[in-house]
């Protein structure tokens, strides 16, 4: 069974149930020596759904999952969806206060964690029940928290507008942004996937974190179309990835640019049989045209780059193997997606008859896949929206771009300060807020710099408060002890003052140029 664009809305739990009935022994999930058939995944999800319902949870409620890659993660996720709940996948690399704040923000009734997260001793909200995914612990876990193997959940008719998940783009400020993605948005991704060869024979190799939307846009369609998801170990290793790809005859994968770089650099890359690949996807960070060309030359199968936001809106797609002369672009708007450019005043930038824009502008997009909004933050939601003359809603990207003569989008710069390190979104304002908590810091700015290892890496520029002599290395160590793993500063420079414009805005471009000339310590 496959889905086709334009068909009636279907929910993921229902699709998995159909696969379990039609192909019960087909493998749905695989990690190491552990495998789950569709029948086992379906039955496990049912038991979790029963447990949640018996605890009084239902539509309108939310659970959180904070764990590294494992098959139980997805059983819990699917079970919550089956009960009509939303799921908030939290990043295990976040700090304990960040995790506690995100769980509080989404009002998670249950929080599922692994042993590594348990060791962080997170001060979870008092009204949240904490349950371990692992069974090898004496305290109540899944064995006692779930229902019997024969129990069936009460049927829930999932509505397209119900929240599917809440993904947190930030967590170090007092107002983390929880991006609410409805079932309709995930259904749009499932339909789009039918154009990229997804089906019952698909084997998708997952090497990005399960809490990331980058992962879910590839993983969810695989299960929806009846394919097999193979999970890599949590820490990415090029040699391990290549062995798994060859062993499982992987047909699909989603990787971020830094992972492609590491794979291309592996000395034994050419020794592995990767001929089963039909599609390789990339998103989440700028993808160097030279790296795209190298992947095309050395790795069989189509190479598809997606440009878009976790918030949804418009997506551009570049099938690089079909357009080798457009590798400097992020492609054209996906089918059913409307991408426009607006100027500083919010006025749409006109386009010439051939497709080229007359000027650059901020990229805004509209599509069937759009977030409902930022959870509990209507003011921030309003800032992320733009409406055309007919009142249609678009999502603002904060990116500056232009359309070329063939209608391909060329990105020029990011209006927002966000940087992307290892495929994860990093917000400089969050890091700056932490640094400002040190008594020696009078002023601070954080910018992203190119990194061969991570794609981008955050560096800080600090003006010390009068009378303080704290060294740059001491300040960096202090800040990194309070930041999540993906947020840690790779350098910090002391300055007498920050460069600012006439109206007081920090000139971050000048700081980037300074960092190139004088690399931070």
Cβ-contact 47, 148 below 8 angstroms: yes
Q: What is the pLDDT of residue 232?
A: 97
Could you report the per-residue pLDDT of 33-74, keeping only the tens digit for each? 999 999 999 999 999 999 999 999 999 999 999 999 999 999
Average pLDDT rounded to a whole number, residues 107-116: 95
How far is residue 207's CA from residue 226's CA, in Å, rounded to a whole number? 20
Residues of the chain with pLDDT > 90: what percent? 73
Q: What is the pLDDT of residue 143?
A: 43
DSSP state of 494: E
How far is residue 88's CA from residue 86's CA, in Å, rounded to a whole number? 7
For the CA atoms of 144, 145, 148, 154, the dihedral, rounded to the nearest 10 degrees, stands at 160
* pLDDT of 135 above 50: no
What are the beta bridge partners of residue 206?
Answer: 231, 254
Q: In whole angstroms, how far apart are CA 462 and each of 5, 264, 486?
A: 51, 37, 20
Beta strand 178-182 pairing with 393-403: unpaired
* Domains recognised in the chain with CATH numbers: 336-416 (2.30.38.10), 419-517 (3.30.300.30)
Between these two residues, 74 and 510, which has the higher pLDDT value? 74
* pLDDT of 519 above 80: no
Helix-, strand-, coil-residue percentages of the chain, each rounded to 5: 30, 25, 45
What are the beta bridge partners of residue 141?
Answer: 132
| Pair of tokens at residue 151 | 């129990």
b/e per residue 374-385 (b: at least 16 CB within 10 A): bbebeeebeebb
Q: What is the pLDDT of residue 334?
A: 93
Cβ-contact 215, 18 below 8 angstroms: no
pTM of the model: 0.81
Lowest mean pLDDT among 8-22, 171-185, 269-283, 382-396: 171-185
* pLDDT of 420 above 90: no
First to last CA, the chain: 56
Cα 291 to chain centroid distance, Å, stands at 21
Residues of the chain with pLDDT > 70: what percent? 92
Local confidence band at 141 (pLDDT 50, 70, 90 cut-offs)? very low
Angle at 95 between CA 91 and CA 100, to 5 degrees: 80
Could you report the per-residue pLDDT of 304-349, keeping only the tens digit for each? 999 998 899 999 999 999 999 999 999 999 989 999 999 989 999 9
Could you report the per-residue pLDDT of 437-447, keeping only the tens digit for each? 999 998 899 99
Q: In whole angstroms, how far apart are CA 85 and each of 156, 176, 206, 295, 322?
A: 10, 21, 24, 40, 41
Q: What is the pLDDT of residue 503?
A: 43
Cα 468 to chain centroid distance, Å, stands at 40
Beta strand 455-464 pairing with 441-451: antiparallel
Q: What is the pLDDT of residue 173?
A: 41
How far is residue 497's CA from residue 40's CA, in Å, rounded to a whole number? 61
Between these two residues, 455 and 157, which has the higher pLDDT value? 157
Could you report the per-residue pLDDT of 186-234, keeping only the tens digit for each? 999 999 998 899 999 999 999 999 999 999 999 999 999 999 999 999 8
Total H helices, total E strands in the chain = 15, 26
Local confidence band at 455 (pLDDT 50, 70, 90 cut-offs)? confident
């Amino acid at each position: 069974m496959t889905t086709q664009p334009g068909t009636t809305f279907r929910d993921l739990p229902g699709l998995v149930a159909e696969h379990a009935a039609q192909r019960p022994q087909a493998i749905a999930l695989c990690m190491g020596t552990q495998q789950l058939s569709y029948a086992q995944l379906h039955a496990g999800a049912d038991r979790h759904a029963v447990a949640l319902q018996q605890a009084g949870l239902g539509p309108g409620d939310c659970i959180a999952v904070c764990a590294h890659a494992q098959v139980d993660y997805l059983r819990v996720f699917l079970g919550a969806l089956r009960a009509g709940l939303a799921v908030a996948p939290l990043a295990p690399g976040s700090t304990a206060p960040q995790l506690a704040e995100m769980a509080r923000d989404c009002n998670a009734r249950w929080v599922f964690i692994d042993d590594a997260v348990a060791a962080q001793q997170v001060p979870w909200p008092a009204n949240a029940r904490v349950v371990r995914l692992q069974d090898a612990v004496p305290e109540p876990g899944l064995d006692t928290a779930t229902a019997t193997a024969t129990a069936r959940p009460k049927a829930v008719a999932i509505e397209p507008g119900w929240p599917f998940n809440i993904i947190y783009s930030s967590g170090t400020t007092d107002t983390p942004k929880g991006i609410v993605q409805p079932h309709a948005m995930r259904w749009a991704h499932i339909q789009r996937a039918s154009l990229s060869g997804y089906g019952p024979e698909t084997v998708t190799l997952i090497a990005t974190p399960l809490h990331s939307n980058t992962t879910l846009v590839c993983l969810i369609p695989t299960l929806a179309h009846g394919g097999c998801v193979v999970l890599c170990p949590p820490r990415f290793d090029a040699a391990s990835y290549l062995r798994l790809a060859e062993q499982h005859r992987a047909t699909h994968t989603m990787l971020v640019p830094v992972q492609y770089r590491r794979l291309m650099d592996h000395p034994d890359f050419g020794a592995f049989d990767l001929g089963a690949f039909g599609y390789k996807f990339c998103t989440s960070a700028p993808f160097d045209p030279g790296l795209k060309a190298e992947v095309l030359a050395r790795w069989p199968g189509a190479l598809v780059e997606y440009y878009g936001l976790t918030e949804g809106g418009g997506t551009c797609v570049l099938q690089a193997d079909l357009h080798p002369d457009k590798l400097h672009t992020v492609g054209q708007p996906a089918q059913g997606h409307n991408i426009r450019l607006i100027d500083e005043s919010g006025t749409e930038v006109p386009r010439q008859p051939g497709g080229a824009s007359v000027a650059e502008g901020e990229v805004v997009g509209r599509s069937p896949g759009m977030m409902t909004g930022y959870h509990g933050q209507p003011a921030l939601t309003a800032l992320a929206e733009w409406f055309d003359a007919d009142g249609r809603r678009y999502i603002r990207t904060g990116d500056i771009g232009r359309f070329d003569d063939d209608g391909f989008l060329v990105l020029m710069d990011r209006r927002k300060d966000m940087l992307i390190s290892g495929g994860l979104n990093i917000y400089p304002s969050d890091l700056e807020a932490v640094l400002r908590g040190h008594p020696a810091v009078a002023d601070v700015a954080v910018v992203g710099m190119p990194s061969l290892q991570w794609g981008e890496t955050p560096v800080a520029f600090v003006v010390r408060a009068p009378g303080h002599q704290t060294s740059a290395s001491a300040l960096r160590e202090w800040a990194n002890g309070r930041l999540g793993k993906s947020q840690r500063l790779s350098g910090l420079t002391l300055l007498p003052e920050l460069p600012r414009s006439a109206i007081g805005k920090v000139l971050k471009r000048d700081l980037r140029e300074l960092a190139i000339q004088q690399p931070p310590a």
